[in-house]
Structure 1
Amino acid sequence: MSNLSRLLKESWTLVEEHQDKLASYFYARMFLNNPQLRDLFPVQMDVQRSRLLGAIVTAVQTVDDPEHFEEYLQSLGRDHRKFHVQPEHYEVVGSALMEALRTFAGDQWSIEFDQAWSDAYAVIADKMIAGAEADLSNPPYWHAEVLYHERRSRDIAVMTVKPLQPLEYRAGQYVSVETKYQPRLWRVYSAANAPRKDGSLDFHVRAVGAGWVSSALVRRVRPGDMIRLGAPMGQMTLDRRSTRDIVCVAGGTGLAPIKALIEEMTRANRTRWVHVFFGAKDRDDLYDLACLNRLAARYPWLSVVAATSDDPDFPGEHGNVSDIVARYGPWRDHDFFVSGSPTMVKSTLRTLAEMQVPAIRIKYDAFGDV
């Protein structure tokens, strides 16, 4: 670990238990220093409050991984074009961040900590600005028309949208989505298909509690409606150089990027076996199992195992999907893709570590704290 990384992580422990209050203070200082910035954010700040700060902290904690650090920040810079962020805004954000850290760390905050965060944030800002400037040939966001919308269960919908301008992405990546029902409020969803000639994208969406965006996408959006899409992000993509067989572990609508990866494999794969484990609470949440089974019947290299954790009459495997994966192992020589809730991903990563699967062979997405 570098000295900079050590200082950043050591200093973060001073404020970590106060991060909710720190986030509130951070935004308050930012809006006080530049009131015009408030218009870039949604009216509802309850979830957003932790997002920008979380992105900064994530970036800071990857400084010892230069390749991932730069790629993540440039992608983040491209994505933030949808907020109409300008280079001068980064100075305001950095000032608010430093004020918040000094306030909540108190007397334990040192000159060394202050310099480390100042240096790290300067690099973050430079790389994000560079990422945004390198993407000027693309729009800050894409307008897309909803072509198809189907409720698959009590709280899950599958929808197809078509951007009005070409949107280039790779199977396994995700984009942020905004609806007309909650302006400036964005949530991320993985495309559930590999790129198509007509440019359309599929999304699998679960309405989560009182989620403003997810509820609108499941219960209110109809064919003909317009939504907006942010720039594609994420590294859960196929390594075309690898010849190892593949294991995909999906929980609920975490199936979306897995399905996109399978679709990409159907276009070129001839040598790699692909094992898909699809887990959910009950059979209703296995909303796309029929399609997976049709794919498995068509492609001999694909196998599908479905599991439910709370449906004793389901004619398949029973238990948490991470435990089911362990039963079918060993998997030391495979590439892994894991997608689902933070809890499901954590459990699966723990299982794979116990099975001695090298971390470098595991790619995962979980839109939450993992």
Structure 2
Amino acid sequence: MENFARLLKESWTLVEEDRERLSGHFYARLFLLDPELRKLFPVAMTGQGDRILEAIVTATQTVGDPESFDEYLRALGRDHRKYHVDAAHYETMGVALLDALRSTAGDGWNLEYDQAWRDAYAGICEKMLAGAAADGNPPFWHAEVLTHERYGPDTAVLTVRALQSPLVWQAGQYVSVEAPRHLPRVWRTYSVANAPNDDNVLEFHIRTPAGAGWLSGALVRRTKPGDLLRLAAPMGSMTLDRSSPRDILCVAGGVGLAPIKALVEELATVNRTRWVHVFYGARHREELYGLAGLAELVAAHPWLSVTPACSADPDFDGELGDISDVVSRYGPWTAHDCYVSGSARMVRSTLRVLAEDEVPPDTIRYDTFGNL
């Protein structure tokens, strides 16, 4: 296993700086091998390759941890049911992937790398297909938009109701969303912002800053109550450890509040002894769109505290500075279970603060919007 993991990671260094070329070659070869596969992908392919490559990177980086590797791939297989892929499609994708890796790596590629990727891909397919076969749920759920509330020009909070069999998720997880009326076959993951409930209702917090994807823009600016969306199977492991007796630190930046809010709502149903500290940051006061809702939770639950902060609003009457710096002022956090959610930069900074505080890594879970 150690040599296998070494070959995968070592060979990945030959192509990781040229992902755009790798992605382009992969799709060109894929659609040449089976033109019918093109119908499964969106008209505009921008960004699609990044998601495929992210799955590959995650697989190669977790291969040394068989348990998490197994669950990740089974969940990925369940998620890919929304694309209507089958065993034959996986085989074609494998041929295209190996061809793209060889071409992009060039002279640095060798037979050992080739065999390692063949074996890895075979294992990946086996577990993904097993995860898909074991899932008795539909490939995706149709969901009706119930409410849609704008917060400024680029943020919206919407609630939807899944219309088929119950959609079962855990607080802290995310689902893939498609808006077929606006952007068919374009999927993007969003964290669910509320704890599971009997009404089959999910809440999403969407932000579409400059340069954000088309789907976020459509969900913020063009979606309205009554529209139909599609939701795929829940994924993600930033979930609550109910067996832990430790107090809890939650750090949220921007719409990273979504999974944190869901975790707090779940705690409201089970918590009696654990103190929960939420740090919620943004650049400006108006971007703290969820502050009023958090205040209601604080009023109802004496074990909960919320500390808001703004990094670029000197008139803000709360904490000033990056949320990671604010968290460091209130430490130490070594006796807490820690949950971190937000932009890549914010998560990276907060993880650095927790590492400097010597917080055990196995007590930290995080969700990032973008690459670390």
User: Normalized against structure 1, the TM-score is what?
Assistant: 0.98
User: 8 Å contact 1:188–1:367 — kept in the other structure?
Assistant: no
Q: Please list the CA deviations of residues 246-267 of structure 1 after superposition, one character each: whole Å capped at 9, or x if unmatched.
A: 0000000000000000000000
Unaligned runs of 5+ in 2: none
Supply the distance in 1 between the matched residues of 2:74 and 2:140 (Cα, whole angstroms): 16
User: 8 Å contact 1:60–1:121 — kept in the other structure?
Assistant: no
TM superposition shift of 1:125? 0.6
Q: What amino acid does structure 2 have at the position aligned with 1:264?
A: E
TM alignment of 1:1-370, pairs within 5 A: 2-135=2-135, 137-165=136-164, 166-179=166-179, 180-209=181-210, 211-370=213-372
Q: What amino acid does structure 2 have at the position aligned with 1:290?
A: A
Say which SS state the counterpart of residue 52 (structure 2) adopts: helix
> Cα RMSD over matched residues?
1.0
Unaligned runs of 5+ in 1: none
Q: Please list the CA deviations of residues 294-329 of structure 1 after superposition, one character each: whole Å capped at 9, or x if unmatched.
A: 211221100000001111101101111011101100
Which is further off, 12-21 or 229-238? 12-21
Supply the distance in 2 between the matched residues of 1:250 and 1:292 (Cα, whole angstroms): 12
Q: What amino acid does structure 2 have at the position aligned with 1:147?
A: L
TM superposition shift of 1:208? 3.2
Q: What amino acid does structure 2 have at the position aligned with 1:79?
A: D
TM superposition shift of 1:131? 0.5
Q: What amino acid does structure 2 have at the position aligned with 1:286?
A: L
Structure 1: which 4+ aligned runs deviate by more than 4 Å?
none
Q: Please list the CA deviations of residues 25-69 of structure 1 after superposition, one character each: whole Å capped at 9, or x if unmatched.
A: 111111111111111111111111211122122112210011110
Q: What amino acid does structure 1 have at the position aligned with 2:141?
A: W
Supply the distance in 2 between the matched residues of 1:215 and 1:104 (Cα, whole angstroms): 33
Q: Please list the CA deviations of residues 178-205 of structure 1 after superposition, one character each: whole Å capped at 9, or x if unmatched.
A: 1120000011111111011111011111
Supply the distance in 1 between the matched residues of 2:121 and 2:220 (Cα, whole angstroms): 38
Supply the distance in 2 between the matched residues of 1:40 and 1:109 (Cα, whole angstroms): 31
Say which SS state the counterpart of residue 338 (structure 2) adopts: strand
Which is further off, 46-55 or 357-366? 46-55
Q: What amino acid does structure 2 have at the position aligned with 1:272?
A: R
TM superposition shift of 1:154? 2.1
Supply the distance in 2 between the matched residues of 1:198 and 1:105 (Cα, whole angstroms): 51
Q: Please list the CA deviations of residues 116-144 of structure 1 after superposition, one character each: whole Å capped at 9, or x if unmatched.
A: 11111110010000011111x21100000
Supply the distance in 2 between the matched residues of 1:302 and 1:14 (Cα, whole angstroms): 48
Supply the distance in 2 between the matched residues of 1:127 and 1:51 (Cα, whole angstroms): 19
Supply the distance in 1 between the matched residues of 2:287 and 2:277 (Cα, whole angstroms): 20
Say which SS state the counterpart of residue 62 (structure 2) adopts: coil
Residues 75 and 367 (structure 1), Cα distance of their counterparts in 2 relative to 1, 3 Å cut: farther
